[in-house]
Amino acid sequence: MQSGAVVVYERNGGPSGIDELYAIYPDGRITGDNTVETIEEQVTPEEVEQLLLGIASRGWFKNKMYSTWHDPCEQCFGYYITVTYEGEEKTVKGVDGGTDAPSDYWQVVSSINGVIPHFTY
């Protein structure tokens, strides 16, 4: 966030023990780092704005979006997402494979996955 990103998305765990970190910037630049390589992609600033609007509309900055955590199994991934939008900043974390995270959290994960570049393993 200190470098000006509006979305920071971290995914780690799973059977391969991945550790991925992505940053999405208002100008549309998206960077990804998995500790071995870095990747970059460019989308339009309008696409970033649409992503932020979609995240906010799912209640990201409301009490209905909250962190949950349990020890991930060897197949599960942990997610940490920080979003800054219109003067607000919030981090929410969750683990897939459980039922305790808000359902809209997974919609946000899906929206972010739709715009970030993906590593090939």
Among 74, 121, 75, 71, CA closest to 100: 71
**Considering the domain boundaries, does residue 41 fall inside one?**
yes
Structural domain boundaries enclosing 96: 7-113
Rounded to 5°, angle at Cα 114 from 37 and 74: 60
**Considering the domain boundaries, does residue 118 fall inside one?**
no
**Considering the domain boundaries, does residue 13 fall inside one?**
yes
Q: Domain count of the chain?
A: 1
pLDDT, tens digit (0-9, with 9 covering 90-100), for 39-81: 999 999 999 999 999 999 999 999 999 999 888 788 899 999 9
**Considering the domain boundaries, does residue 1 fall inside one?**
no
**Considering the domain boundaries, does residue 57 fall inside one?**
yes
Q: Looking at residue 74, what is its pLDDT? A: 86
Tokens linked to 72: 């991930």
- Whether the CB-CB separation of 87 and 21 falls below 8 Å is answered with no
**Considering the domain boundaries, does residue 2 fall inside one?**
no
Weakest mean pLDDT among 1-5, 14-18, 34-38, 63-67: 1-5
CATH number, residue 17: 3.30.1560.10
- Whether the CB-CB separation of 49 and 111 falls below 8 Å is answered with no
**Considering the domain boundaries, does residue 120 fall inside one?**
no
**Considering the domain boundaries, does residue 97 fall inside one?**
yes
- Whether the CB-CB separation of 10 and 82 falls below 8 Å is answered with no
